């Protein structure tokens, strides 16, 4: 629907309508989740909590990063259940694009979930290699994520 509107209206109104659509999208995005702030070893970590998927696309991931970064967080926990399954299909490029931005902005991320269900070699290698570093880790519990991010 957004693309149809862009083609119908005059160029003078495009920025205004684009802005209105973005504000509505942001309101819905923020209503779907809440941020729990953890303080571990004098380190502040934002945990994103939601009953639904909040990262469907690259844009959703970048919006989340920007929103929390703007609020002063540089360490975050996101639950695997709040991320669309396409993220874990590396061929889509969603994980690569989002996680590269987290790395560029030096925002550390722990993704909490049960990852044994992903049987593909590429995603398992990706998780293994990520867990060797400190920027993005895949963990089984919030406690584990907090422990890693607070070091």
Q: What is the mean predicted confidence (pLDDT) over 75-82?
A: 98
Q: Please state the domain extents for the chain.
A: 1-31, 33-149
DSSP code of 91? G
Return the number of other C-beta atoms located less than 10 Å from residue 100's C-beta: 12
Q: What is the mean predicted confidence (pLDDT) over 61-72?
A: 96
* Residues 94-113: tens digit of each pLDDT: 999 999 999 999 999 999 99
Residue 129 has pLDDT above 80, yes or no: yes
What global pTM score does this model have? Answer: 0.79
What is the CATH architecture of 33-149? 2-Layer Sandwich (3.30)
At residue 53, the pLDDT reads 96
Pairwise CA distance, residues 45 & 110, whole Å: 10
Pairwise CA distance, residues 49 & 151, whole Å: 22
Q: What is the mean predicted confidence (pLDDT) over 17-34?
A: 51
Residue 10 has pLDDT above 50, yes or no: no
Pairwise CA distance, residues 21 & 16, whole Å: 9
Where does residue 11 rank: exposed (0-12), middle (13-18), buried (19+ CB within 10 A)?
Answer: exposed
């Amino acid at each position: 629907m957004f693309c149809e509107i862009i083609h119908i209206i005059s160029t003078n109104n495009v920025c205004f309508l684009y802005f209105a659509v973005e504000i509505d999208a942001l309101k819905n995005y923020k209503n779907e989740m809440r941020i729990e702030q953890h303080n571990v070893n004098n380190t502040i970590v934002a945990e994103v909590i939601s009953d639904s998927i909040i990262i469907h696309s690259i844009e959703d991931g970048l919006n989340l990063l920007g929103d929390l970064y703007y609020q002063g967080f540089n360490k975050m926990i996101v639950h695997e259940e709040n991320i669309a399954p396409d993220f874990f299909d590396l061929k889509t490029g969603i994980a690569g694009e989002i996680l590269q931005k987290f790395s560029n902005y030096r925002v550390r991320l722990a993704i909490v979930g049960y990852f044994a269900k992903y049987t593909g070699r590429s995603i398992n290698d990706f998780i293994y290699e990520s867990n060797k570093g400190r920027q993005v880790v895949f963990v089984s519990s919030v406690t584990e994520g907090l422990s890693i991010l607070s070091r």
